């Protein structure tokens, strides 16, 4: 390929005015099991190529697979967390096709008998509304190996001089989660797609079944999209954009495909049913292979594996052991902490929920916990390119430190600006808040005589301001408090100073 013809797109407003999108998302998740789906090979990421293989995952003749029990349990737990029915009996199936990174020439998957089906996942949107994503099925399968195309400029097969294959990934357990077609999303489709993948990721993380790292490929998303003219109920022809590897890309891919389809349809053309490649750099998709619905993989039940029939008691026990769903947990914590929607969203986005929960458990108020974790330390963590929790871990800063800092303020040892200095000392590795306050001599002057002297001096020096306050302009007190602070080199208790000034000027 020498030149790339860019697909035409229609403007966003024109697209959503004329068309209604239909979306279907297929998400592949690599399970975090220690061993592969049908053999005992390890699954460690980044190992020496072809060092984690055996006759089973290399598809050598005569090798017999054995199902990984932990993977099946994980699949059932995922199905339950997605509100699915769990099949009392199901089978694996062979999906036959040739690809160099798939040594058996078939993928062991599930077809018409998935382990979990008919579920749903509620997704919270920015505007506070929720959208219910219906889940068609969640089934088990195995990953393929990885091809590396060498010698070309792009790393793609075109222009490469040779290709290398690494089978370490072949046979790693995957769960594929497929949604039913989502309708009625309208212009919110890109946001809903992103929110769904984000919610699913949180859910899987909470289940502890996968590390769900999109950038390492342990969670991958295919975006199916078609458009219907507004008012029509008949689905259009879909495109399937493969391997979209970040939340932001999911949102952008949906948006791009909507405008691309709209350009074709509004010009009287018809959409080709095909797979598309996503390009992170340009934010566009390009054509892959043409794909018909009737693609024949010659699926048939896997003869080398016995059917799965998880006993009802096992499923019930797995259901009982599910963690609280992330959405429910957030609602519960928001109620308990009295955070506004915006405050909650900020702490969730900053990954502070666990830290704040631990800090409240250590005795801090929810407001103080939020304030200290999302202030200076968040700024520093961000500058280091890391998240607050890991950064705090590196520094040895704990929830107990925040609780202690707040106690220093509520006991009137420190005012707010002193507390900030103490916190900076803690972040600089100078020890606990109390130790920093001691070492830096941070201490409100408790001596009321000194405060009274400073207040009297400041009132005398500012007769006009004092007069205003006497006349009822109470807000002018701020200027005097500032001067009292200065007078006492920052060590005054601002609340006490305010009280004293007001009472001396007849306003208390």
Rounded to 5°, angle at Cα 300 from 241 and 52 = 65
- Of the candidates 109, 144, 179, 241, which one interacts with ligand ADP according to CB under 6 A? 179
For the CB of residue 197, give the shortest distance to ligand ADP in the complex, in Å. Answer: 13
Single out the residue of 119, 46, 111 nearest to residue 78, CA to CA: 119
Rounded to 5°, angle at Cα 368 from 363 and 372 = 115
292 vs 340 by CB, closer to ligand ADP:
292
225 binds, among Mg ion, Zn ion, ligand ADP, none (CB under 5 to 8 A by kind): ligand ADP
Site for ligand ADP contains 254 (CB under 6 A): no
CA dist list (Å): 184 to 25, 234, 317:
15, 13, 37
Token pair belonging to 115:
């382990």
22 binds, among ligand ADP, Mg ion, Zn ion, none (CB under 5 to 8 A by kind): ligand ADP
23 vs 455 by CB, closer to ligand ADP:
23
Q: Are 415 and 409 in contact (CB under 8 A)?
A: yes
DSSP 294: T
Token pair belonging to 268:
């009287």
24 binds, among Mg ion, ligand ADP, Zn ion, none (CB under 5 to 8 A by kind): ligand ADP
Site for Zn ion contains 364 (CB under 5 A): no
- Give the H or E element holding residue 155: none
Within residues 18-37, the interface with ligand ADP by CB under 6 A covers: 22-26
414 binds, among ligand ADP, Zn ion, Mg ion, none (CB under 5 to 8 A by kind): none
Identify which range of 17-25, 68-76, 212-220, 351-359 contacts ligand ADP by CB under 6 A. 17-25
User: How many angstroms separate the CA atoms of 195 and 189, rounded?
Assistant: 10
Token pair belonging to 326:
């992330």
Count, residues in the chain: 508
Site for Zn ion contains 54 (CB under 5 A): yes
Residues sharing a CB contact under 8 Å with residue 84, sequence separation 6 or more, in sequence order:
116, 117, 118, 119, 135, 137, 138
Site for ligand ADP contains 252 (CB under 6 A): no
57 binds, among Zn ion, ligand ADP, Mg ion, none (CB under 5 to 8 A by kind): Zn ion
Site for Zn ion contains 71 (CB under 5 A): no
User: How many angstroms separate the CA atoms of 357 and 372, rounded?
Assistant: 13
DSSP 214: G
Q: Are 143 and 172 in contact (CB under 8 A)?
A: yes
Site for ligand ADP contains 264 (CB under 6 A): no
Site for ligand ADP contains 434 (CB under 6 A): no
25 vs 76 by CB, closer to ligand ADP:
25
- Of the candidates 107, 224, 249, 483, which one interacts with ligand ADP according to CB under 6 A? 224
The pattern of x and - marking residues 22 through 61 that bind Mg ion according to CB under 5 A reads ----x-----------------------------------
What would you report as the CA-atom Rg of the chain, rounded to the nearest whole angstrom? 30
User: How many angstroms separate the CA atoms of 31 and 308, rounded?
Assistant: 18
CA dist list (Å): 395 to 403, 420, 429, 431:
17, 17, 7, 10
Identify which range of 219-227, 251-259, 411-419, 476-484 contacts ligand ADP by CB under 6 A. 219-227
Token pair belonging to 355:
């830290």
3-state helix, strand, coil in the chain (%, to 5): 40, 20, 40
b/e map of 312-345 (b: 16 or more CB within 10 Å)? eeebeebeeeeeebbbeebeebbeebebeeebbb
Site for ligand ADP contains 226 (CB under 6 A): yes
For the CB of residue 94, give the shortest distance to ligand ADP in the complex, in Å. Answer: 15
Cβ-closest residue to ligand ADP? 24
345 binds, among ligand ADP, Mg ion, Zn ion, none (CB under 5 to 8 A by kind): none
Helix, strand or coil for residue 60?
A: coil
54 binds, among ligand ADP, Zn ion, Mg ion, none (CB under 5 to 8 A by kind): Zn ion
User: How many angstroms separate the CA atoms of 23 and 240, rounded?
Assistant: 10
The pattern of x and - marking residues 12 through 51 that bind Zn ion according to CB under 5 A reads ---------------------------x-x----------
User: How many angstroms separate the CA atoms of 186 and 129, rounded?
Assistant: 14
User: How many angstroms separate the CA atoms of 437 and 311, rounded?
Assistant: 61
226 binds, among ligand ADP, Mg ion, Zn ion, none (CB under 5 to 8 A by kind): ligand ADP
Query: Cβ of 478: how many Cβ atoms within 10 Å?
Result: 12
Site for ligand ADP contains 181 (CB under 6 A): yes
Distance of CA 148 to the CA centre of its chain: 29
66 vs 322 by CB, closer to Zn ion:
66
Q: Are 144 and 49 in contact (CB under 8 A)?
A: no
Site for ligand ADP contains 459 (CB under 6 A): no
57 vs 352 by CB, closer to Zn ion:
57
Token pair belonging to 44:
């460690």
For the CB of residue 218, give the shortest distance to Mg ion in the complex, in Å. Answer: 18
# residues near ligand ADP by CB under 6 A: 15
Site for ligand ADP contains 180 (CB under 6 A): yes
- Of the candidates 97, 99, 235, 300, which one interacts with ligand ADP according to CB under 6 A? 235
**Bridge partner list, 274:** 239, 290
Site for ligand ADP contains 107 (CB under 6 A): no
Site for ligand ADP contains 468 (CB under 6 A): no
Which residues are at the interface with ligand ADP (CB under 6 A)?
22-26, 178-181, 224-226, 235, 238, 240
Which residues are at the interface with Zn ion (CB under 5 A)?
39, 41, 54, 56-57
Which residues are at the interface with Mg ion (CB under 5 A)?
26
């Amino acid at each position: 390929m020498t030149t790339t013809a860019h697909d035409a797109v229609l403007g966003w407003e024109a697209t959503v005015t004329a068309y209604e999108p239909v979306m279907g998302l297929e998400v592949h998740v690599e399970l975090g099991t220690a061993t592969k789906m049908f053999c005992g090979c390890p699954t460690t990421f980044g190992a020496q190529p072809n060092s984690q293989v055996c006759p089973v995952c290399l598809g050598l003749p005569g090798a017999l697979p054995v199902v990984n029990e932990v993977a099946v349990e994980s699949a059932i737990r995922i199905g339950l967390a997605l509100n699915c029915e769990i099949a009392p009996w199901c089978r694996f199936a062979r999906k036959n096709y040739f690809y160099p990174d798939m040594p058996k020439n078939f993928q062991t998957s599930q077809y018409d008998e998935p382990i979990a089906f008919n579920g749903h996942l509620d997704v919270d949107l920015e505007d506070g509304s929720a959208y219910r994503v219906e889940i068609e099925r969640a089934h088990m399968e195995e990953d393929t190996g990885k091809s590396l195309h060498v010698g070309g400029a792009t790393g793609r097969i075109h222009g490469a001089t040779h290709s290398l294959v690494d089978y370490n990934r072949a046979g790693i357990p995957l769960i594929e989660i497929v949604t039913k077609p989502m309708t009625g999303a309208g212009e919110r489709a890109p946001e809903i797609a992103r929110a769904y993948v984000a919610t699913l990721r949180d859910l899987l993380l909470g289940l502890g079944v996968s590390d769900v790292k999109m950038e390492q490929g342990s969670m991958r998303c295919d975006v199916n999209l078609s458009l219907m003219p507004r008012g029509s109920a008949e689905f259009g022809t879909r495109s399937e954009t493969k391997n979209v590897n970040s939340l932001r890309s999911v949102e952008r891919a949906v948006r791009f495909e909507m405008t691309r389809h709209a350009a074709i349809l509004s010009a009287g053309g018809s959409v080709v049913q095909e797979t598309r490649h996503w390009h992170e750099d340009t934010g566009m998709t390009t054509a892959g292979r043409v794909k018909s619905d009737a693609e024949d993989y010659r699926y048939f039940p896997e003869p080398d594996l016995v059917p799965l029939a998880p006993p009802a008691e096992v499923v019930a026990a797995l259901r009982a052991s599910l963690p609280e769903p992330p959405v429910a947990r957030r609602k519960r914590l928001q109620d308990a902490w009295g955070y506004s929607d915006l405050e909650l969203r900020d702490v969730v986005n900053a990954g502070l929920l666990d830290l704040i929960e631990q800090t409240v458990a250590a005795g801090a108020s929810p407001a103080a916990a939020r304030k200290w974790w999302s202030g200076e330390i968040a700024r520093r963590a961000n500058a280091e390119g890391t998240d607050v929790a890991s950064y705090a871990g590196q520094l040895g800063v704990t929830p107990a430190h925040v609780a202690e800092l707040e106690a220093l303020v509520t006991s009137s040892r420190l005012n707010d600006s002193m507390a900030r200095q103490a916190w900076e000392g803690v972040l600089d590795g100078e020890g606990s808040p109390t130790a920093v306050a001691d070492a830096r001599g941070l201490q409100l002057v408790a001596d009321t005589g000194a405060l009274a002297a400073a207040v009297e001096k400041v009132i005398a020096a500012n007769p006009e301001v004092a007069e205003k306050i006497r006349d009822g302009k109470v807000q002018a007190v701020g200027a005097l408090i500032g001067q009292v602070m200065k007078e006492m080199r920052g060590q005054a208790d601002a609340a006490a100073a305010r009280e004293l000034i007001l009472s001396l000027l007849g306003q208390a």
